[in-house]
Amino acid sequence: MLNILVLHGPNLNLLGQREPGVYGNATLEDINRLLETEAQALQVKVSALQSNHEGVLVDAIHAARDQHSGLLINAGAYTHTSVAIRDAIAGVNIPTVEVHLSNIYRREPFRHHSYIAAIAVGQISGFGPNSYRLGLQALVHHLRENNPSG
């Protein structure tokens, strides 16, 4: 069974309380539950981790090399700053889909650049919690296209 790692970056533990006008009312737990339901429908396994620390996210990406066939990541603000996370994803060469709750291109100019986008299979941005659901669907579709037995 395909095993997907879901990584949530900094401040996403505050979802539900954090700038609800931008990020909505769903909590991280709600999003993980939604992903669990979608994973069952797609017949894949997901494991989710949230960290506010860049190095923890880098370590989790390295560890995924042996255990996971795909990565779904909302790197939060590290999207716009972290060459380390970009290099970790490129280094392990695991197919990756980047997601964002908000539409980063409708926001401040500093959010318009993503270090991850250029090495990801694709990016989904602006659909709230549904960005994660759509991202998981797209990632699983991509993995199955490339390995039909998955």
Residue 81 binds to ligand DQA (criterion: CB under 6 A): no
> Catalytic site residue 78?
no
- CB-nearer residue toward ligand DQA: 77 or 144: 77
Please say whether the beta carbons of 70 and 140 come within 8 A: yes
* Residue 82 binding ligand DQA, by CB under 6 A: no
Q: Is 79 in the site for ligand DQA (CB under 6 A)?
A: yes
* 1 vs 90: CA distance, rounded Å: 24
Among 32, 50, 69, 74, binds ligand DQA (CB under 6 A): 74
Calculate the dihedral angle through the C-alpha atoms of 27, 29, 127, 49, rounding to the nearest 10 degrees: 120
21: left (phi over 0), alpha (psi -120 to 50) or beta: alpha
Q: Does residue 136 belong to the site contacting ligand DQA (CB under 6 A)?
A: no
Q: Does 76 bind ligand DQA (CB under 6 A)?
A: yes
Q: Amino acid identity, residue 70?
A: G
Answer for the pair 12, 50: CB distance below 8 angstroms, yes or no.
Answer: yes
Q: What angle in degrees, to the nearest 10, is found between the helix axes of 28-42 and 130-146?
A: 30
Active-site option among 23, 78, 115, 132: 23
Q: Which stretch binds ligand DQA (CB under 6 A): 36-44, 50-58, 71-79, 89-97?
A: 71-79
- What is the set of active-site residues? 23, 100
Annotated binding-site residues for substrate read 74, 80, 87, 101-102, 111
The contact set with ligand DQA (CB under 6 A) reads 11, 74, 76-77, 79, 100-102, 104, 111
